[in-house]
Chains A and B, each alone.
Chain A
C-alpha cells in the first residue's frame, strides 16, 4: 500500500513521477504512429512541449492552497463556461465538431482544459449543501449547463465522460439511491433521444454491433482497432513498423492512441503504462482516504481519480472494440495540449488538496 506522506514511495512523489513517465510513453506512441508521416517529428516535438507545459502547471497548482482555489472556483468555472458558450460563434470546426479555438498554430479545447474547474465547482456544491433534493438539483443544474455547450459542438464522447463522473461523484458524496435512480433514468432517456436525433450516432452503434455488415463504412474503425491490436501481439512492432497506426487507424496519435500503443509496444510493453496508471490512481485513492482532510479536498481527489479512470476505461474500451467508436483521448498518452494541460492541472490541484487539512485556518 502506498503511504500518504513518509519515505520515498509516497503518494506525493508517485503522482509527478507517474505523470511524467505516462507523458513520455505518450510521446513514444506518437513517434511510432507518425514514423511514416512527411514530418515524423512534428507532433512529437509539440507533445514534448505540451508535456513540459503541463508539468509546469502541475507544480504551480500543487503549490497553491486548495482553499484559495475553492474560493475562486465560481470565477474559474464561469471563465471556462464563457469560453464554451463562445465556441459556436468563434470556434473552429475540426472533424465535424466545433470544439476548438484556433490560436495561431495551436488549438485550444475548453472542454478538455476546463475539466478541473468544473470538478472544483461541483465539489464545492456537493460539500456546501446537505445531502437531499436541493443538493441534487444544484449539482445537476451545474452539470447540465456545463454540458449544454458541449452538446452543441457536438461532443458526445466527452459528455459521456462528464456524465459518468458526475454520477460517481454523486454516489461518493452520499446521495440517496432514489436520486441516483432518477439520474440514471434521465441518462438512458437522453441517450435514446441522441440515438434518434443523430442518425450518425445510431450508425456507429450498428457498425459496432455488426462490423462485418459494413466493413468499409460504419464497421471500418472497429475492425482497424482489432487488426492493430492483433498485429502488436505480445511484443509489438519494431520502431517504425507500426503499419496499422501509420496507415489505417483513424487519428492514431490521438483518438486511437490505445490501439496504437498496443500495436507499438505489444501486450508486454503496454503493461508499463498500465502499471503507471494504476499507481497514479492508487496514489490518489490513498490520498482521498486521509482522515484529517476536509470533505471538499477528499471529494476533489476522488473526483480526479474518477475522471482519469473513466476516461481511460472508455478510451481503452473503444480501442479494444468493446464500445462504439467515439473521439476520446487517452489521458497523458494521446496527443493534445488542452487535454494534457487539463489532466496535469487536475493532478496538481489534487496534490494541493491533499494538504488541505481540517485544522488549517482560512
Chain B
C-alpha cells in the first residue's frame, strides 16, 4: 500500500504555487528594471555619482618686455585627517619626528587648518608611503597665484579672490585671464573612493590666455615675488 496517498494532485498544487511565485518575481524584476527604472537609477546615482570641477589655468601677466608679473604655481600642503580630539599615536609621532626633523608636528592637530604649507618634492615623496600605511595625513595640492613684488607693479597688477580678479590688471583682463572651468563626473564606491573606469569628462576646461600689458617695469628697481 502506498504511503503517499495524494502525491500527484498535491505535486500539481505545489507546481502551481511555484509558477505563481515565479510570476510575482518576474513582475517585480520588470518593475525595477523597466517600469520604475529611471526613478531607481536616479536615486542610485545620487549616492554614487560625484560631479567635480576641473579648474581652468589662469593666464600669465607679462609686461611689454615679456617679464613675468603674475603667474601660477602648484604647491603641496599637508593636512591631518584626525577627528577633533584625536591625536597621533606615540609611534606615529616618533616616525614623523625622525623623518622630518625640521618640521614640528603638533600632537593633536586641528583638521581644519593645514599642518604645513609648501612641502618640498622630497617631503612629498617621503610622506606618501606613510599615508599608504595608514598615517592620518593627507597631501592636498593647490594652485597658487604668484605675483611680482615690486613697489611700481604691486598696485597695477592687482589681486584675485576665488579665481576672479578684483583689482588692477587682474580685474581689467579678467575675462581673458580666467578661462572657463571644466566638469567631470565619477562613480564612488561604498568607501567613497573613485571607481577609475567610471570617470567621465563632461566639459573640457578652457584655460585662460596669457596677457601682455602695455607697460614696462623699471628693471633697476629691486624685485621679488609674493604669494596671493
User: In the complex, what residues of B have CB within 8 A of residue A302's CB?
Assistant: 7, 11, 14
Size category of the B interface is 35 or more
A313 in complex: contacting residue of B2, B25, B47, B189, CB < 8 Å: B25
Residues of A contacting B: mostly: helix
- A173 with B40: in contact, given A229-B29, A246-B195, A313-B21 (CB under 8 Å)? no
Question: Once bound together, how far apart are the Cα atoms of A129 and B198, in whole Å?
Answer: 62
**CA of A302 to CA of B15 in the docked complex: distance in angstroms?**
10
Contact segment of A83-91, A154-162, A232-240, A325-333: A232-240
CA distance A320 to B29 in the complex (A): 7
Q: Are B48 and A247 in contact, CB atoms less than 8 angstroms apart? A: yes
Contact with A along B1-23 (1 / 0, CB 8 A): 01111111011001100100110
Q: Which of B4, B22, B44 contacts A127 (CB 8 A)?
A: B4
Interface positions of A from 312 to 330, Cβ below 8 Å from B: 313, 316-317, 320-322
B33 and A131 within 8 A (CB): no
From A126, A267, A289, B8 is in contact (CB under 8 Å) with: A289
Indicate if the CB atoms of A241 and B48 lie closer than 8 Å: no
B29 A174 Cβ-Cβ under 8 A: no
**B30-65 at interface with A (beta carbon < 8 Å):** 30, 32-34, 36-37, 40-41, 43-44, 47-48
A288 at the B interface (CB under 8 A)? yes
Query: For the complex, is B114 an interface residue (Cβ under 8 Å from A)?
Result: no
Are the C-beta atoms of B11 and A230 separated by less than 8 Å? no
Is A168 an interface position by the 8 A CB rule? yes
A267 near B29 (CB under 8 angstroms)? yes
- A309 on the interface (CB 8 Å rule)? yes
The answer to whether B25 touches A234 (Cβ under 8 A) is: no
> How far is B48's CA from A266's CA once the two chains are assembled, in angstroms?
20
With contacts A317-B25, A320-B32 taken as known, whether A230 is within 8 angstroms of B10 at the C-beta atoms is: no
Identity of the chain B residue whose Cβ is nearest the Cβ of A216 in the assembled complex: B47
* A247-B48, A289-B11, A320-B25 known; A232+B33 contact, CB < 8 A: yes
**How many angstroms between the C-alpha atoms of A262 and B31 in the bound complex?**
13
Please, which residues of chain A bring their CB within 8 A of the CB of B32? 226, 229-230, 320-321
